[in-house]
Amino acid sequence: MSEINTTDSVKKILPFILATAIFMQMLDSTILNTSLPSIARDLQESPLNMQNAIVSYVLTLALFMPVSGFLADKFGTKKIFILSLVLFSLGSLFCSLSQNLTQLVISRVIQGVGGSLMTPVGKLALIKTFDKSELLKAMNYAIVPALIGPILGPVIGGYIVDYLSWHWIFLINIPIGILGIILSFKCMPNYKSPVIDFDLKGFLIFAAASLLLSISLELLGNTKNITPILLILMLGFLMLFYYYKHAKTDNNPIFPLNLFQVRTFRVGILGNLATRLGISSIPLLVPLMIQISYGQSALTSGWIVAPMALTAMFGKSFVIGILDRFGYRKTLMTNTFIIGVLICCLAIPDVNSSIYWFVPILLIMGFFNSIQFTSMNTISIADLRTYHTSSGNSLVSVNQQFAVGFGISFGLIVLKLFEGDTSFIHNETHNAFRYTFLIVGFLTIFSGFVFRRLHSKDGENMKSA
């Protein structure tokens, strides 16, 4: 390791640096959804074609996240993190200057390269700076923007499109990026680790698997022809199996298979994937329902879900005490069950009910979501050895990206299936949303059983001193 500075001032600023990066990335990921029609009109494109601006970013994240750990180990966390902020900020600037869809897609790819390095490398610096007894508190602070960004994005996007222009959606990233760069130069430690070589073959195999799985999940919600999607999906899983065979024989695979011998890591990865299948679709389904079933504006739907951010922040002040008292196993099992029940509760109001009935349900859900995400993220890296920290942290980030993507696609697929059966929903679109919430809610409840594999004492080393 080199250029390491872990003074108290660095420990105070480092979570804030990661928080600004996460906020910028999460805000950008969600703010675009509200603005696509406006951008499409300006670029003289169909709104359906504008999905490429989202897909290109998601695919780039999935493709380049696996290399983040290697680059950080070789060149240092400080250098790679600053590079990621520069790339993301430049990509944002280029997005705002785009004159056609092709330019916008290329600019989103540049953003995606920066984003794929930004969060994993920032988290890696945090993990290496703080003792395990301090890490939960630091991660708890840094991850708040990941909860706020998806909630504020649609609201801010609605205001910007209505009162300014879509270009400002990307330009607001630049001052945040500059602030992050300045703070990183002053306070970001430059951790390095000995690197034998880079597993280029393993990276290419895993990247191919990531690309195929990403394409399949993007197509899943946007086409009725299921055959090519299944073929792409199967090919993606075959590439994953090919990576497994490769990693068994390679001396330095990009993701060592013995990571999965660590039980808390294995359960954390699987639990993240299973529970986010349900949770991830809610920030998309609720605004859609309010606009389609209740005929409200995008801005109104954004304001309905915005209070989730307040209770998410409120929940962060309780999560450490809850984990100290009940432990990870009991907390995650109970918390997942509660979230599943709350998702089912979204199915109770009918089309004649006031939209404000959803506010208290979403308020409570925001509180428990914050506990869920912090607990899952920290238990995943609780027992990793130092030499596994970089690769394990990168794999956790890639897994979360896929989990969110699959969750959104799953919610949309279930919704479209119900919408297509008009006799079952009695020609009432709102019933399709209600049945979707029930399916997603029950899936979330059952996903909590994944955490039964944890032991009651797991995560003891993560507890606050």
CA pseudo-torsion sign 147, 277, 375, 11: negative
Are 243 and 278 found together in one domain? no
Q: Which of 253, 287, 318 is the last residue of a domain?
A: 253
Q: What is the pLDDT of residues 294-311, one digit of tens each?
A: 877 767 777 787 777 778
Residues 245, 74: Cα–Cα separation, whole Å:
26
Are 442 and 312 found together in one domain? yes
Number of residues in the chain? 465
> CB atoms < 10 A from the CB of 196, how many?
7
Are 129 and 176 found together in one domain? yes
pTM: 0.75
**465 residues of the chain, pLDDT tens digit each:** 444 445 666 777 777 788 778 778 777 776 776 666 677 778 877 654 566 677 677 778 877 877 877 788 888 888 899 999 999 999 999 998 888 888 888 998 899 899 888 888 887 888 777 776 677 777 767 766 666 666 677 677 777 777 777 788 888 888 988 988 888 888 787 877 776 677 788 888 888 887 887 777 667 655 667 788 888 889 989 998 998 888 888 777 878 887 887 888 888 888 888 888 888 888 778 877 887 788 777 677 777 877 777 787 777 778 878 888 888 888 899 999 999 999 999 988 888 888 888 889 998 998 898 888 888 878 887 767 766 666 777 788 778 777 777 777 778 778 878 877 676 676 677 888 888 999 999 999 998 898 888 877 766 655 554
User: Which tokens belong to 217?
Assistant: 């999940």
Q: What is the 3-state secondary structure (H, E, C) of 403-417?
A: HHHHHHHHHHHHHHH
Q: What is the pLDDT of residues 347-382, one digit of tens each?
A: 888 888 888 888 899 989 988 988 888 888 788 877
Displacement of CA 158 from its chain's centroid (Å): 22
Q: Which of 211, 226, 253 is the last residue of a domain?
A: 253
User: Which tokens belong to 358?
Assistant: 């959803």
Q: Which of 148, 170, 196 is the last residue of a domain?
A: 196
Are 242 and 391 found together in one domain? no
Are 324 and 378 found together in one domain? yes
CATH number where 94 lies? 1.20.1250.20
Q: Contact 81/122 with Cβ under 8 angstroms?
A: yes
Are 160 and 184 found together in one domain? yes
Owning domain of residue 435: 255-465
Residues 105, 192: Cα–Cα separation, whole Å:
33
- In single-letter form, the type of residue at position 178 comes to I
Are 188 and 238 found together in one domain? no
Are 13 and 116 found together in one domain? yes
Total domains present in the chain: 3
Residues 100, 211: Cα–Cα separation, whole Å:
25
Are 215 and 249 found together in one domain? yes
Q: Contact 434/311 with Cβ under 8 angstroms?
A: no
Are 212 and 177 found together in one domain? no
Beta carbons within 8 Å of 132's beta carbon, 6+ residues apart: 382, 461, 462
Are 245 and 286 found together in one domain? no
Query: What DSSP line would sit under 335-361, residue for residue?
Result: HHHHHHHHHHHTTSS-TTS-GGGHHHH
Are 99 and 187 found together in one domain? yes
